[in-house]
Each structure stands twice: as C-alpha cells, then as structure tokens.
C-alpha cells in the first residue's frame, strides 16, 4: 500500500514547506526582473487556487510562471505535485526529473518521482529512487513504507519485511496523533508480504495486530479470511469475512467470498443469502431476490434471508411485495424490531398513515422493552 502525504503527515511537513516557499517568493519579489515578478505573482495566485480546489487554474498559472521563469523551482515542484495527486503520472515524471537534474537533494521530487513509477508499476525504477529519498530524509516513514511496498511487488519479501520493521519502530516512537492508524496500516502491509511469502501463521498474527490497533479495519479482516482459507481453516475464514462485512456493510467482494466459503462447508442457505447480498449491493435486485428465495427454500423461516428479500423488494420499487414479506416476518417472529421499522416506512410511502403509525407504536414498544433488558 503506497502512502502519500495525506496519511503520513509526521514525516512530510508539506504545509510548512509550502509556507516557506511562499514567503521566500514574497521576500524576493522586489529584487527580481519583470518576468520573475510576474512568475512569482502567478505562483502566489496558484497557491490560493490550490487552497480553494481550483487545480486546473493552478496548473495553468504554474505552467505560465515556469515559462516566464524557467529556474523557478518552487513553481515547478508545485506543478509536479498537482499532476501527481491528480494521477497524471506521465506528466509529473519529467517535471520531477528536471528538478532533480538541477538539485539532486530535493527530497520531495525524488520521493514523488519514486511514487510515480510505483503507481505505474515500474517498480525497478521505484527501487532505485526510494533509497535515495531515504538517504535525504532518514526520518521519512513514507519513503520506508513505500519502498517496502515496492519490494513486495517484486516478490522481495525478506527485504520488504525488514523495511516494514523500520516503519513500525519509527511509528512506535512517534507522538503523532495519527501514528496508531499508520501503525495498523504498516502491520497490514507487512501481513500482506508475509502472506505472499507463504508464511501464513505470521501473516495471521500481523493482521490480528492491525485489527487490535484499528478494530473496524475491514480489509484486514478480509485478508485475514483469505489467509485462513489458504490454511484450509474454513470456519475461521467465515468468521473473518463476517467481521469484514460487519465493519463495511457494502463490502461486495467479502459477501461474495463469504457465500462461496459457506457453500464449501455445506451451508447452502447461508451461501445463497450472502451471494444475494453481493448481487443486491451491485444493483442486481432481480438476481438477488432469486438468491434470497432459494436460500429460504433451503431453510424455512430463515429470518435474515427473509429480511434481505424484503429490503431488495423495497429497493427495487416493489413496495407491495416488500410489505407482504415483512408482514410474514412479524407473524413468524413478533419481536423483530427492524421488520416493524421497515413496515412503518413502507406504509408511509404507500400513503397508509394509519398502518404506518401502528407499526411505529409497535416498534417503539419493542425498543423500550429491549432497552430495559
């Protein structure tokens, strides 16, 4: 996972650098040629455009500033950063190269050039540049982390894990408020390298550590499940996937894989239910409804599948069908609070105020009863 300044704030004081560059431009304004003065004015204006999200306007002004003043490194670097964060890597690369040619000690240019190559999948180039960035900024968590990610991409797992250990050590010593979140990501990335290496036991431990640091880390739960699957531990796989969808209720792939693994264990009803959820989340309501009906056919009074069927019917515009499904749920399970809440909404949409208020009263009664327990 390649990190940028947006996450690893502690090792890249970007705002301070921008402020210093801006002040330098202002202080030198009156001692410049007319072209340089205009270029600096454009640079200052571009910083305001960037602040207000006007990236196209900022790019235009920076390009014009560089044309007027080719040696204006701050403007060139700012333009490169704009193109990098906009995903225009092919345009950013020559800009960073030009900066490095005139100043090989420019950390930001070296680091972002390495990131450009990594994001393009040219990892051999990235591996040449990350050590240079680290040499320039030995305190850069970002450079170490992304170097490790590039090494992982080239299957150099032992080297990658060594770099991730450096990242973890640095973050454990950090007082930055974001360090805990970053640490969870570092353990997650290390677990990915361990999993690809085939060291599943250590990968599990690293994913679990990431989850301890960030309890709602859906991707960590999901890949923990994948690791358990590779270890042929299907029950642990199911548990991890369920935690993944609990942490991220719209996690389509996790629902799909959860359904497949449940099918492998012989739980056909759960298999069809989860596959139905995956389909509905993709907007394929008719297919999802078919799956839910098949799940209910396999397991009579399958409340979860029945509830999901009602939701899918409601989302697809079949309010009458949804009403019938939720009424059936309440008849079979009179304390199903969420079913009454759905009926309240459906009756309100159907214009049946009396029924909507009745469902609201029942829901409130059940809610108050549950609160006393």
From CA 92, how far away is CA 77, in angstroms rounded? 9
Q: Is 301 helix (H, G, I), strand (E, B) or coil?
A: coil
Residue 25's pLDDT is what? Answer: 53
141-153 helix and 157-172 helix, angle to the nearest 10 degrees: 160
User: What integer pLDDT is reported at residue 3 of this predicted model?
Assistant: 55
Model pLDDT, residue 99? 96
Token pair of 143 as six digits: 């450079």
Q: In this predicted structure, what is the pLDDT of residue 5? A: 42
Q: With a cut of 70, which residues of the chain have pLDDT below it?
A: 1-33, 373
Structure tokens at 297: 């056919």
Predicted local confidence at residue 9, as pLDDT = 36
- How much is the pLDDT for 30? 46
Angle, alpha carbons 143-170-19 (nearest 5°): 60
Give me the pLDDT at residue 11, please: 42
Alpha-helical segments (H) within the chain: 14-27, 34-51, 55-68, 73-85, 89-102, 107-119, 123-136, 141-153, 157-172, 179-197, 200-213, 218-230, 234-247, 252-264, 268-281, 285-298, 303-315, 319-332, 337-350, 353-372
pLDDT value of position 2: 58
- pTM of the full predicted structure? 0.82
Asked if residues 100 and 107 have their Cβ atoms less than 8 Å apart, the reply is no
The CA distance from 312 to 113, in Å, is: 47
DSSP for 57-102 reads HHHHHHHHHHHH-TT-HHHHHHHHHHHHHTT-HHHHHHHHHHHHHH
CB within 8 Å of 15: residues ≥ 6 apart: none
Quote the CA–CA distance of 202 and 196 in Å, as a whole number: 11
């Amino acid at each position: 996972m390649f990190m940028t300044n947006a996450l690893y704030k502690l090792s890249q004081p970007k705002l301070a650098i921008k402020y210093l560059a801006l002040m330098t431009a202002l202080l030198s304004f009156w001692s410049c040629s007319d072209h340089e003065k205009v270029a600096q004015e454009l640079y200052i204006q571009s910083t305001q455009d960037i602040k207000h999200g006007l990236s196209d306007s900022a790019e235009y002004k920076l390009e014009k500033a560089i044309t007027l003043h080719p040696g204006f490194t701050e403007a060139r670097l700012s333009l490169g950063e704009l193109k990098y964060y906009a995903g225009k890597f092919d345009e950013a690369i020559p800009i960073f190269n030009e900066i490095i040619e005139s100043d090989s000690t420019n950390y930001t240019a070296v680091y972002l050039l390495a990131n450009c190559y990594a994001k393009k999948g040219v990892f051999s180039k990235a591996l040449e540049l990350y050590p240079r960035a680290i040499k320039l900024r030995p305190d850069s968590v970002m450079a170490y982390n992304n170097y490790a990610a590039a090494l992982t991409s080239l299957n150099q797992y032992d080297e990658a894990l060594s770099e991730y250990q450096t990242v973890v050590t640095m973050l454990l010593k950090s007082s930055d408020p974001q360090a805990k979140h970053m640490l969870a990501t570092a353990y997650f990335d290390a677990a990915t390298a361990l999993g690809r290496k085939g060291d599943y036991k250590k990968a599990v431990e690293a994913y679990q550590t990431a989850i301890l640091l960030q309890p709602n880390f859906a991707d960590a739960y999901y890949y923990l499940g994948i690791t358990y699957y590779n270890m042929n531990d299907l029950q642990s796989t199911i548990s991890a996937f369920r935690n993944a969808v609990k942490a991220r209720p719209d996690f389509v792939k996790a629902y799909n894989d959860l359904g497949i693994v449940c099918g492998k264990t012989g739980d056909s009803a759960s298999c069809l239910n989860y596959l139905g959820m995956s389909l509905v989340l993709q907007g394929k309501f008719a297919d999802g409804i078919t799956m839910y009906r098949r799940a209910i056919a396999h397991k009579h009074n399958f409340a979860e599948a029945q509830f999901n069927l009602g939701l899918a019917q409601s989302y697809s515009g079949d309010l009458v069908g949804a009403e019938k499904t939720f009424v059936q749920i309440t008849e079979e399970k009179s304390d199903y609070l969420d079913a009454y809440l759905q009926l309240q909404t459906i009756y309100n949409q159907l214009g049946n105020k009396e029924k909507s208020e009745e469902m609201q009263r029942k829901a409130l009664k059940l809610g108050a009863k549950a609160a006393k327990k």
